């Protein structure tokens, strides 16, 4: 069987931040899904290299997007999940608040791409999540990427695991709750398998190193055909995300991709 995918990214969200914050909506996803609190990102643990590894399933040494958070055209040699989905005839969309992510797919691979940068104002993540929810419930896309950046921003401003950052985890949880409620109300919640993860963690007011605090990320799958209330036992890498989501959408896996399907999460 194949399923539609809603992929949610919580920038800079450490697994222990997720566990410390009051997050009833995200809790429901992992408690009725499959999850790992020990998934690993790649070095350098910066947003753009990590996203390119998440979407292109190769390490930064291959795609070439490095610590300076600047996109390199060399990355396009490795098709992204968005490109693979578009090639497979899927209706794809992306809602995000950091414009550097615009190159995660090739021009033409996204039917809808909505970006409003975080400096636009308060509650930007929540507003973007609401826009994504409206699009999901009216257009019912096959694949939707929802990126939220406030947790990372608060980490840099106030510190990782600070009360301010924990509050932003809770705000993102409420935004996820809005999306889930809207899917439920539209009667299409069960059409979507939902994936939640971070791109990297952080320590003090930064990240980018190979410290466990920076490298360890939460990784959650919820829906069909996913195990329920199951802690994934096998090691999970950020390179596995694109492969697993493409597999769930019934897409061909590009031979260049180096990740694996996280079979342990599947029924």
Report the residue number, 202 or 223, with the smaller CB distance to Zn ion. 202
Report the residue number, 125 or 152, with the smaller CB distance to Zn ion. 152
Q: Is 158 exposed, middle or buried (0-12, 13-18, 19+ CB in 10 A)?
A: middle
The minimum distance between CB 152 and Zn ion, in angstroms, equals: 4
Report the residue number, 35 or 71, with the smaller CB distance to Zn ion. 71
The minimum distance between CB 69 and Zn ion, in angstroms, equals: 9
Report the residue number, 142 or 152, with the smaller CB distance to Zn ion. 152
Taking CB atoms, the residue at the shortest distance from Zn ion is: 152
Report the residue number, 103 or 152, with the smaller CB distance to Zn ion. 152
User: Could you give the CA distance from residue 109 to residue 92 in angstroms, rounded to a whole number?
Assistant: 7
Binding residues for Zn ion, rule: CB under 5 A, are: 152
The minimum distance between CB 15 and Zn ion, in angstroms, equals: 17
The minimum distance between CB 54 and Zn ion, in angstroms, equals: 15
The minimum distance between CB 149 and Zn ion, in angstroms, equals: 8
User: Could you give the CA distance from residue 119 to residue 61 in angstroms, rounded to a whole number?
Assistant: 31
């Amino acid at each position: 069987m194949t399923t539609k995918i809603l992929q949610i990214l919580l920038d800079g969200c450490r697994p222990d931040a997720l566990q410390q914050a009051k997050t009833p909506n995200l809790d429901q996803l992992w408690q009725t899904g499959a999850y790992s609190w020990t998934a690993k990102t790649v070095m350098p643990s910066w947003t753009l290299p990590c996203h390119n590894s998440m979407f292109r399933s190769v390490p930064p040494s291959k795609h070439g997007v490095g610590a300076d958070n600047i996109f390199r055209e060399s990355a396009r040699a490795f098709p992204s999940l968005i490109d693979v989905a578009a090639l497979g005839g899927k209706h794809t969309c992306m809602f995000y608040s950091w414009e550097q992510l615009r190159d995660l797919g090739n021009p033409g691979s996204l039917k809808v791409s909505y970006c409003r940068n975080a400096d636009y104002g308060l509650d930007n993540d929540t507003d973007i999540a609401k826009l994504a929810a409206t699009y999901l419930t009216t257009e019912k896309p096959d694949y939707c990427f929802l990126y939220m950046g406030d947790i990372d921003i608060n980490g840099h401003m106030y510190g990782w695991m600070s009360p301010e950052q924990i509050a932003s985890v809770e705000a993102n949880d409420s935004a996820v709750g809005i999306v889930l409620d809207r899917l439920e109300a539209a009667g299409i919640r069960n059409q979507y398998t939902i994936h939640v993860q971070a791109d990297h963690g952080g320590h003090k007011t930064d990240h980018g190193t190979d410290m466990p605090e920076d490298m360890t990320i939460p990784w959650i799958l919820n829906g069909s055909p996913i195990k329920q209330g199951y802690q994934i036992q096998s090691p999970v890498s950020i390179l596995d995300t694109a492969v697993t989501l493409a597999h769930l959408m019934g897409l061909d896996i590009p031979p260049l991709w180096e990740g694996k399907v996280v079979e342990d999460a599947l029924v």
